[in-house]
């Protein structure tokens, strides 16, 4: 892969046990890096991942990632068990409760960026401790565009470290509750203004099934969620969105406003596949033809003929 189109993703490789209203799925392979890298690989062959797994993580799964041209040289395998999360979803799948989190090998994770990856231009830092995200940045050679995910836990427990990270962030990707928590402002538009002043020139606020808002110097942009007839498992949808978005950016080697807006459609389309299956099963089998078809459905979903002028009104008579 030519390096100008490459994307480095750092985050978790994990097992998830999912208690869904229709059944329980034990030890499903997940983690932000699994979802994001598969999504990215559907748009660019330049995806590289860095992470840590334990002895229990299936080598076949890593091989399947390599089969989609994802570079796994940066994945360390160390003694012990892989990161594990157990959660229970509500009947409508809109909320979930964490039942168990075992950091395992992730507890001592120190991301080491292989020399071959340090000049990667596009970077997606999944939701891990903000100090580890900074440690990754310190190993990179002038990345062109740094996208960062985080969560409520780090916003409340590591505000100072997160503040340092935000000063080096080009694009922060969080959900609406996290935006409210980070800014202390209830209104989303004003929260976005506040957060952008803290460093990120670009901010995406995800709103679940409803879509996502992008705030940048070009203004505010909205990309809807794709209305699905069946949702099986929302786990990883946000990571899939981010991976697809950055994959599109890397494919174009461009972060102009128009490219980022288009990238949101690809991220949202891929996220809509993700939630159709448990874990990475559905996103892992998406074909290029399926993606093209969903993008076309998306185009129709927002097509108003690009003309909102009012005609001259006929005179009263």
In the complex, the residues that contact a second copy under the rule CB under 8 A are: 1-2, 5, 43-45, 69, 92, 186-190, 207, 210-211, 213, 218-224, 227-231, 251-252, 258, 261-262, 264-266, 295, 297-308, 310-311, 313-314, 316-317
Tell me the closest approach of the beta carbon of residue 302 to a second copy, in angstroms. Answer: 6
| Helix-helix angle 59-67:32-41, to 10 degrees | 20
- Please say which residue, 140 or 295, places its beta carbon nearer to a second copy: 295
Smallest separation, CB 169 to a second copy (Å): 22
Nearer Cβ to a second copy (115/306): 306
CB of 39 to a second copy, least distance (A): 14
151 C-beta neighbours (distance < 10 Å), count: 15
By beta-carbon proximity to a second copy, the closer residue of 160 and 313 is: 313
- Cβ-based burial of 104 (10 A; exposed 0-12, middle 13-18, buried ≥19): buried
Q: Quick one: 100 or 304, whose CB is closer to a second copy?
A: 304
Tokens of 311: 């005609």
Q: How far is the CB of 313 from a second copy (least distance, A)?
A: 6
Instruction: Give the Cα separation of 34 and 88 in Å (integer).
Output: 20
As measured in angstroms, the least distance from the Cβ of 24 to a second copy is 21
Nearest distance from C-beta of residue 120 to a second copy, angstroms = 15
CB closer to a second copy, 87 vs 224:
224
Question: Would you say 36 or 250 has its CB closer to a second copy?
Answer: 250
């Amino acid at each position: 892969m030519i390096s100008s189109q490459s994307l480095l993703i750092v985050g978790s490789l994990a097992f998830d046990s999912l208690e869904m209203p229709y059944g329980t799925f034990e030890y499903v392979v997940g983690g932000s890096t699994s979802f994001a890298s598969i999504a990215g690989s559907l748009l660019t062959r330049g995806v590289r991942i860095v992470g840590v797994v334990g002895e229990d993580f299936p080598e076949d799964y890593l091989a399947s990632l390599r089969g989609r041209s994802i570079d796994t040289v940066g994945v360390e395998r160390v003694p012990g068990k892989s990161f594990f999360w157990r959660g229970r979803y509500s009947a409508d799948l809109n909320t979930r409760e964490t039942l168990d989190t075992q950091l395992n090998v992730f507890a001592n994770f120190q991301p080491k960026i292989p020399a071959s990856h340090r000049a990667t231009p596009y970077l997606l830092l999944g939701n891990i401790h903000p100090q580890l995200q900074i440690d990754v940045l310190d190993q990179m050679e002038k990345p062109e565009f740094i996208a960062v995910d985080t969560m409520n836990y780090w916003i409340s427990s590591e505000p100072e470290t997160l503040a340092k990270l935000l000063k080096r962030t080009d694009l922060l990707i969080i959900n609406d509750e996290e935006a409210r928590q980070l800014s202390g402002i209830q209104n989303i538009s004003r929260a976005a203004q506040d957060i952008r002043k803290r460093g990120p020139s670009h901010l995406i606020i995800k709103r679940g099934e409803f879509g996502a808002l992008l705030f940048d110097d070009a203004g505010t942009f909205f990309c809807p969620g794709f209305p699905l007839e069946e949702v099986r498992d929302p786990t990883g949808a946000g990571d899939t969105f981010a991976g697809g978005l950055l994959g599109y950016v890397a494919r174009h080697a461009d972060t102009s406003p128009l490219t980022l807006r288009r990238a949101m459609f690809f991220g949202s389309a891929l996220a809509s596949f993700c939630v159709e299956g448990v874990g990475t099963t559905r996103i892992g089998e998406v074909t290029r033809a399926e993606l093209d078809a969903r993008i076309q459905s998306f185009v129709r979903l927002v097509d108003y003929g690009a003309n909102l002028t009012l005609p001259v009104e006929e005179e009263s008579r």
